[in-house]
Amino acid sequence: MTDTIAVTGIVATQPNVISTGDDLKITSFRLASTQRRFDRARDRWVDGETNWYTITTFRQLAVNVGTSVVKGDKVVVTGRLRIRDWESGDKKGINVDIEADSVGHDLAWGTTTFTKAHSAAHAPVDPPARESDEFPDANDGGATSDPAFGETPREPAFSEAGADTPF
């Protein structure tokens, strides 16, 4: 049985991108998802408990997450939930992991610019001509370097598997 889950939260650690000996790309990060509720007595929103997840992505999704997501981003993650007990000496705990099928910025909190990923086998394609200037930067095919809109996307920093990786 597979449990599919959708979680929103804040990226709590800088995504760690690795490349295995077989050139499999893997990216993982921790996600904090805090319950929020409106307290009528105080007339404001208050934080509840925080659930912590380890998010793992593979292949092209791993490359895209490593290029697009940074610590502090608010994201939406969908994937398969895995809950495992662990024991190490006199300590016990539970790991709550999500093997992600998709990761995206949570647009309830801001905007983002989509850039289609191209595989190495295909040459980049020019974006279609604009029919309207209503949204002049919407289809420019790249990110802006204007500080008001954030940083230009960064290249993923790949490291070799086994070099201080948690898995």
Domains of the chain, each with CATH number or no CATH: 3-160 (2.40.50.140)
Nearest partner of 26 among 147, 163, 158, judged by Cα: 158
Neighbours of 51 (CB within 10 A): 13
Q: What's the CA angle centered on 26, arms 20 and 27, to 5 degrees? A: 140
Q: Across 40-136, where does the E strand assignment appear?
A: 44-58, 74-88, 91-105
pLDDT of residue 1: 57
pLDDT of residue 119: 62
pLDDT per 10-residue tile (average), the chain, 167 residues: 88 95 94 93 93 97 95 97 93 94 95 79 48 43 41 49 45
Answering whether pTM is above 0.75, one says: no
